[in-house]
Amino acid sequence: MRSRRFVRRLVVGALVLMVTAGAVPPAVAAGNNHGGTTGVMRVVGAGGGTLGPEWRDFAGDPVRFEIDGRATDPLHPSGTFHVVHRKPDGKLLAEFSGPITSLKAVDEVAVVTGVIDTADNPGLPLEMVGKNISLTVYDGGRQDRISWIWGFFGAPVSLLQGTAPTFPLTEGGFQVHGVRQAPGAHPAVAVQAADGGTTVAALLGDSKLRFRMAARVPAGGNPTEVQGNFHFADRRGSGVDVEGRIGCLVAGGPVAVATGVVTASNDPAKVGKPVSFSLKDGRIDRLGWIWGFAADAPQIVDCQSVVPSYAPRWGGLVVR
């Protein structure tokens, strides 16, 4: 746990860097997602809550989620998911379930994808069976969180990808048993999401990797109204050195997801390509990324990414 003073310095300092730097305007990195996964990853539990006013026509509706999944290989999991969405008077809007198709968990954060094989949706005249879904779960102990992406609404769903867990559970909860890698010495990630807006600031790395990001969504703004930038330099085998602007930012609890586009690189072919980052501000701060410039690049969608896995060896921020 870091002191409030340290977090304030991190956030304020990174915003200074964002201004002075100009805040305008293999696919999943090796060792970031598949490599290094050992042991059994599990996501188990059930919980839900009531949708808030931001959900407009669905405001006041109770929703509930159940997940029972495990994996040693993220792309070959076992288990199921089950979702129930009702109206305030108890009438069923939609209920659907199916097998899990991918599962990745690191520490207390997990992404689970699945495909619907059974559905009863009297309140939603949509074809659900055969559609993909994604659930991101944060096991926060006293305050668990979840988020979802529904393929039946036309949203793209990719294996191992989700968004930030923005929905706080008010009943029930989940247990996430993720792979745990050794933390670095003093990594630093700060994530703040509140009525005053959303701010993410990071400066971290190791002897051969360096990452910086500073981004902010103003109060009342939507995720695509973000201002921010990033720089990622990897002196290992990949030799990736890219910088650019952030185009979408969403945070839920201590987890944030950002997507952007490369504006400068040591390889001109990477300029204009999309990138995706995930960050977790916790006892062990972590970073995840996807490169849209890889030959076999998966689709990168606004504010979607993988579970943050990389544990940096150092972190800090110079306030200017």
Q: What is the reported pLDDT for 319?
A: 19
Whole-angstrom CA distances from 153 to 100, 133, 260 are 19, 10, 23
Comparing CA positions, the residue from 285, 286, 281 lying closest to residue 307 is 286
* Listed residues 120, 153, 177: the one ending a domain: 177
This prediction has a pTM of: 0.85
Q: How far apart are CA 277 and CA 109, in angstroms?
A: 15
Two structure tokens written together for 280: 């977790």
* Listed residues 118, 144, 177: the one ending a domain: 177
Q: Which domain holds residue 67?
A: 41-177
* Listed residues 158, 177, 196: the one ending a domain: 177
Which residues neighbour 76 within 8 Å (Cβ) at sequence distance 6 or greater? none
Q: Is residue 25 part of a domain?
A: yes
Q: What is the reported pLDDT for 194?
A: 54
pLDDT of 235-281, one tens digit each? Answer: 887 789 999 999 999 999 999 999 999 999 999 999 999 999 999 98
| Claim to verify: residue 14 and residue 48 sit in the same structural domain | no
Residue range 46-50: average pLDDT?
Answer: 98
Burial 263-275 (b: 16+ CB within 10 A, else e): bebeeeebeebbb
| Claim to verify: residue 148 and residue 52 sit in the same structural domain | yes
Q: For the chain, how many structural domains are there in total?
A: 2
| Claim to verify: residue 151 and residue 51 sit in the same structural domain | yes
Q: Is residue 320 part of a domain?
A: no
| Claim to verify: residue 186 and residue 162 sit in the same structural domain | no
